[in-house]
Structure 1
Amino acid sequence: MVAAAFIGPGTVTTASVTGARFGYALLWTIAFSIAATIVLQEMSARLGLVSREGLGEALRGQFDNPVPSYVSVALVVSAIGIGTAAYEAGNILGGAAGLATLSGIPATVWGPVMGLVAGALLFTGRYELIERVLVGLVALMAVAFVVDAILIGPDVGALVAGFAPRVPGDSLVLATGLIGTTVVGYNLFLHASNVQERWSGPSDLPDCRADTVLSIVVGGLITMAILVTAAAAFPRGTAISDVGVMAQQLEPLAGPWAKYLFSVGLFAAGFTSATTAPLAGAYATAGALGWETDIDSPRFRAVWGTIIAVGIVASLVGGSPVQVIVFAQVVNGILLPIVALFLIYAVNDRDILGDYTNSTAGNVVGGLVTLVVVWLGVRTLLSVAGVL
């Protein structure tokens, strides 16, 4: 589910735009993002597995003074709610764009269909079924984008050089975007809750860690494949304004298979994220408010249902998913530093985790990652304010 949650149309869009404009030069940012995501998601998984609480519940219980408690709960509910709703709109629009390219049927038709199917899947309340569907679609994504990258024929030498850290020209915004599409705040809430569905307790921690690392690495490799495809397909400096159109632009370069594979991957990315974003929003909101976090509970369903409804309405209105995705990334950039700082605080609380609290090395690494996401948040705020 972790890979399914962060590989969405936002990732496809950002990686495609980056590859087309700057070639392979920013591959190193994806490698960093993989490492940073592993660090934060491991903490989130450990918190959920040992304490048997989600991140929302842990946040609500951390403050003795009711004022900071209410403020933090209000922040989480509003930011996660708005953020996941914005992501949902981008997810459905992006996935529908992929289906539109494959079928010739307008995205405004496919959008509501995607939202309703995602809602039906969540409404079953069968966690194992949901997980299997998402795992299958992540595998489909991996095959589609990796084969696409191979068909395009990347420059191996330039690809290897792309892992050397550098920030060419005005690429800092896109480097920030690549990190921001991988290290996603709402994913931390989702992971702390869903590990409780799959594993029974601290004794399963080694298996949980292995699963977390594998899923994040797979997701990172998919992102790399997308960037490599765009870098190999287009002259450096090419501007891509619509990721749905990119699939059509690949056809004369690598044949119809490249076009169809990219479209299939875009659909899979949209549908997996259209399912996980509402689920994450429901876990975060219900946990922070002290509601039952059972996937079958009425309040839980009401939260994810509202988020999906926002996405469906946005898909009916139409328009480019790029603007919606950018707005979602802004919300994530503001929220992520706050969530990361709280997560570091929570995994050092012996009352919650006992012997499973962070080690000194874990705090140092976690602190460095948190500094980076704080930097991302500051850059996002300055960008919104028009300073950058």
Structure 2
Amino acid sequence: MAIVQNTEKSSPVVPSTLKEKAKLVGPGFVTAATGVGTGDLIAALVAGAAFGTTLGWAILLGSLFKFYFTEGMGRWQLATGKTILEGWHSLGKWATGYFGVYTIIWGFSYGAAAMSTSAIMMVTMFPILPLWAWAVVHGLAGLALVLLGHYKLFEKVMTFMVGLMFITVVGSAIILLPDIGNIVSGFVPRTGGSSMLLVLGLLGGVGGTITMASYGYWIRERDWAGKSWIPMMRLDSAVGYIVTAIFTLSLLVIGAEFLFGTGIEIDGEEGLVTLSNLYSAEFGSIARWLFLIGAWSAAFSSLLGVWNGVPYLFADFVRMMRKNGAVSDRRVSKEDPAYRFYLLWLTFPPMLLLFFGRPVLLVILYGALGALFMPFLAISLMLLLNSNRVEKGFKNGWVTNVILTACVVVFVVLGAIELAGLF
């Protein structure tokens, strides 16, 4: 008699206690690691060097904004069974059309930036290869990990990177022996003479943009499905953004304690290398290595998260176009040709930009579409989660609506400033 094996995958049990939930935290760490890149490092260091810990409140508020974005997308998916792409498509073809154009331009430009920023840190630590070669190595390493590894391996790698970032950067802040009173005073909202652009940049820069929309696919990889998983999803995403806030505040402290009043400026990724050298002069080579490892972890984990997560969005977009927006029970996966196409698009065409630079038109399109994304996301979440597409008990409350409205105002202003700078 032939023995038939049951290969059906069993669904995980919804945790009921805080201890059980804590053991399942994971996609939130992935989102945190993906969202915090060298741009966030630089923005926080610049703010600390110029204005001390005055703008700590902006980092906390920015983390709160991004939590509500992520929680809204997760709640939409778990309450309706539809991805955020399906939600956007229900608002009209213009929404998915905008997203499709944006992902192609964004991926081409971001791929080059992610590889080069990871390479800058690596070539500083190990100058055995030129910058372009280290950039190519990082791009290929991300490609290999995504193609050859499964989601659990990817999540473990990302969680390790978060731990590495946390230990090195927070440790770098602690060795400066900061004044706790100054840190706490920074939680009182005020500009302290800083420019509104810097404040808006901190609000908008904590935790990524399009990458947040990948969160729904990562919780699907964990088989979190249905309304009963919403409390777990909220805790998971909250932990991710708490880690993000602590990490970014540590960078603000480093800038405030080490650079404030010195006149030394942090300018781009090369400024991080300069700061590491100053660390070495003050605290020795171990401190320098700690900071460089933390900066590299932030850059490379962001690359890995994008290489894994954003192709899901593109594959879902292609599926939506083929099915004309119809909902399907079939989940997009790494086996989808569209997923693999976008993964290759992130990796190989951007390598050309490592040698030739970004064309002016690409810069303008990238900046223009990017400036519109965050207001688009906030408005779309209000439209979706206040509509009859969601059951009454899972719609937005007034607090969520107020925060999302504030997000729209902040990001419209920030987007207008960014657009003005392109022309």
TM-score of the superposition, structure 2-length normalised?
0.81
Q: How many angstroms apart in 1 are the aligned matches of 2:391 and 2:143?
A: 34
Q: How many angstroms apart in 1 are the aligned matches of 2:265 and 2:364?
A: 16
Paired amino acid for 1:240: I
Measured against aligned partners, the alpha-carbon deviations of 1:295-348 in whole angstroms (never above 9, x if no partner) come to 2211111112201224444445689xxxx9999777533321112211221222
2:281 corresponds to 1:252: yes
Aligned counterpart for 1:120 among listed residues 144, 162, 165: 144
Call closer, same or farther: CA 1:170–1:359 in 2, change over 3 Å: closer
- Give the deviation of 1:262 after TM superposition: 1.2
Q: How many angstroms apart in 1 are the aligned matches of 2:151 and 2:367?
A: 28
Q: How many angstroms apart in 1 are the aligned matches of 2:39 and 2:410?
A: 20
Paired amino acid for 1:297: D
2:404 is matched with 366
| Partner secondary structure for residue 53 of structure 1 | coil
Which protein is richer in helix relative to its size?
1
2:105 is matched with 82
Bigger Cα displacement from structure 2, 332-341 vs 265-274: 332-341
Q: Could you tell me whether the CA contact under 8 Å between 1:180 and 1:333 is conserved in 2?
A: no
Q: Could you tell me whether the CA contact under 8 Å between 1:38 and 1:212 is conserved in 2?
A: yes
2:419 corresponds to 1:381: yes
2:221 corresponds to 1:192: no
Q: How many angstroms apart in 1 are the aligned matches of 2:104 and 2:179?
A: 42
Q: How many angstroms apart in 2 are the aligned matches of 1:365 and 1:209?
A: 16
- Give the deviation of 1:27 after TM superposition: 1.3
> Aligned residues, how many?
375
Aligned counterpart for 2:266 among listed residues 229, 240, 263: 240
Call closer, same or farther: CA 1:195–1:89 in 2, change over 3 Å: same
Q: How many angstroms apart in 2 are the aligned matches of 1:192 and 1:41?
A: 9
Q: How many angstroms apart in 1 are the aligned matches of 2:341 and 2:295?
A: 28
What are the ranges of 5 or more consecutive residues in structure 1 without an aligned counterpart? 64-68
Give RMSD over aligned pairs. 2.5
2:123 corresponds to 1:100: yes
- Give the deviation of 1:56 after TM superposition: 1.7
- Give the deviation of 1:144 after TM superposition: 0.6
- Give the deviation of 1:350 after TM superposition: 2.7
Q: Could you tell me whether the CA contact under 8 Å between 2:56 and 2:187 is conserved in 1?
A: yes
What are the ranges of 5 or more consecutive residues in structure 2 without an aligned counterpart? 1-29, 321-330
- The 5 Å alignment of 1:7-86 reads 7-63=36-92, 69=93, 71-86=94-109
Q: Could you tell me whether the CA contact under 8 Å between 2:36 and 2:207 is conserved in 1?
A: no
Call closer, same or farther: CA 1:370–1:329 in 2, change over 3 Å: same
Aligned counterpart for 2:395 among listed residues 347, 353, 357: 357
- Give the deviation of 1:285 after TM superposition: 2.4
2:256 is matched with 231
1:66 is matched with none
2:375 is matched with 337
Q: Could you tell me whether the CA contact under 8 Å between 1:102 and 1:263 is conserved in 2?
A: yes
Paired amino acid for 1:19: G
2:333 corresponds to 1:294: yes
| Partner secondary structure for residue 273 of structure 2 | helix
1:152 is matched with 176
Call closer, same or farther: CA 1:260–1:315 in 2, change over 3 Å: farther
- Give the deviation of 1:284 after TM superposition: 2.7
Call closer, same or farther: CA 1:158–1:40 in 2, change over 3 Å: same
Q: How many angstroms apart in 2 are the aligned matches of 1:326 and 1:162?
A: 35
Aligned counterpart for 1:304 among listed residues 343, 346, 363: 343
Q: Could you tell me whether the CA contact under 8 Å between 2:108 and 2:350 is conserved in 1?
A: yes
- Give the deviation of 1:20 after TM superposition: 1.9
Q: Could you tell me whether the CA contact under 8 Å between 1:152 and 1:253 is conserved in 2?
A: no
Call closer, same or farther: CA 1:81–1:336 in 2, change over 3 Å: farther
- Give the deviation of 1:252 after TM superposition: 1.0
User: Identity percentage over the alignment?
Assistant: 25
| Partner secondary structure for residue 173 of structure 1 | helix
- Give the deviation of 1:79 after TM superposition: 1.8
Paired amino acid for 2:275: M
2:159 corresponds to 1:135: yes
- Give the deviation of 1:352 after TM superposition: 4.5
Bigger Cα displacement from structure 2, 123-132 vs 351-360: 351-360
Q: Could you tell me whether the CA contact under 8 Å between 1:84 and 1:186 is conserved in 2?
A: no
Paired amino acid for 2:273: G
Bigger Cα displacement from structure 2, 86-95 vs 252-261: 86-95
- Give the deviation of 1:23 after TM superposition: 1.9
Paired amino acid for 1:56: L
Call closer, same or farther: CA 1:209–1:360 in 2, change over 3 Å: same
| Partner secondary structure for residue 240 of structure 2 | helix
Aligned counterpart for 1:216 among listed residues 231, 237, 241: 241
Paired amino acid for 1:379: I
